[in-house]
Amino acid sequence: MANDPIHQFQITKLIPLEVGGVDLSFTNSALFMTLTVALSAGFLILSTNGRGLIPGRLQSISEMCFEFVANLLRDSAGSEGMKFFPMVFSLFLFILVSNLFGMFPYFFTVMTHIIVTAAFAVMVIGTVIVYGLMKNGFGFFKLFVPQGVPGALIPVIVFIEVLSFISRPISLSVRLFANMLAGHITLKVFAGFAVSMIATMGAAGYAVALLPIAFTVALTALEFLVAFLQAYVFAILTCMYLNDAIHPSH
């Protein structure tokens, strides 16, 4: 059991709860989502509480987060896209903080369950479709008909564009989920090598086990990078898709 690399992703019920036949138990996943929201909201609220004109250390950190996402959104969706700032900022911060939570030993990584990432991706694409249709009406479907394409090719191109659009929410969710899952499994497997080497080889095992432990250290650093990059990639793609909803003239 100690070496089972999948065990860390198991969902356990902390407070069993059932409402009208629907299982609404408070699970370890829910616990870490709550912790993520509490930490990110609490940090932002407390650090900006002073409202200093000259920011202190903590206030600088939250202002840097704000500026980072605001620039990301403004660069790819223009100033019109800033009305989606609360959504993009919350998404970025939630993914980043929950991924970083996952880097603590014995903590649960929320993003290793595809249902969570898929819910985010569906929310993003749903926002794009609903807002795009609201703002542009049927002009939104121009998204699928690129300009400057010869008439004979248009039917083929439209199919390709539609498939490309359908693949967006899937690749958005699969990318985040697969990277977090694979990273955590790899970490566990390499750490498990060290344990089994020591158990089977005795004294010599301690010397040989240094190798997988070195790998585990290196992978941990890589995982921190991936935790940030995945949040960044998710946020920047959200911005680009929102840009399509705002300017569908593609």
Partner 1 sequence: MAKKSQQPTGNDGANSDTNNTGNLSEEQLGSRLDSLERQLKSRRKDEVDSERRQGDSAGFSAALRLSTDFVVAILVGAGVGWAIDRFVGTAPWAMIVFLLLGFGAGVLNVMRSAGLVAENRALRPGPTADTKERKIDN
| Contact range with partner 1 by CB under 8 A, out of 43-51, 76-84, 116-124, 212-220 | 76-84
Pick between residue 69 and residue 209 the one whose CB is nearest to partner 1: 69
Instruction: Confirm if 162 and 144 have CB atoms less than 8 A apart.
Output: yes
* Smallest distance from partner 1 to CB 101, Å: 20
Q: What is the DSSP string of 171-216?
A: HHHHHHHHHHHHHHHHHHHHHHHHHHHHHHHTHHHHHHTHHHHHHH
Query: How many binding residues for partner 1 (CB under 8 A)?
Result: 32
Count other Cβ atoms within 10 Å, centred on residue 118.
Answer: 17
Alpha carbons within 13 A on the beta-carbon side of 176: 34
Q: Is 25 in the site for partner 1 (CB under 8 A)?
A: no
CA torsion 203-209-211-212 (nearest 10°) is 170
Q: Is 181 in the site for partner 1 (CB under 8 A)?
A: no
Write each residue from 121 to 160 as x if it is in contact with partner 1 (CB under 8 A), else as -, in one continuous string: -------------------------xxx-------x--xx
> Residues interacting with partner 1, by CB under 8 A?
75-78, 146-148, 156, 159-161, 163-164, 166-167, 170-171, 174-175, 178-179, 225, 229-230, 232-233, 237, 240, 243, 247, 249-250
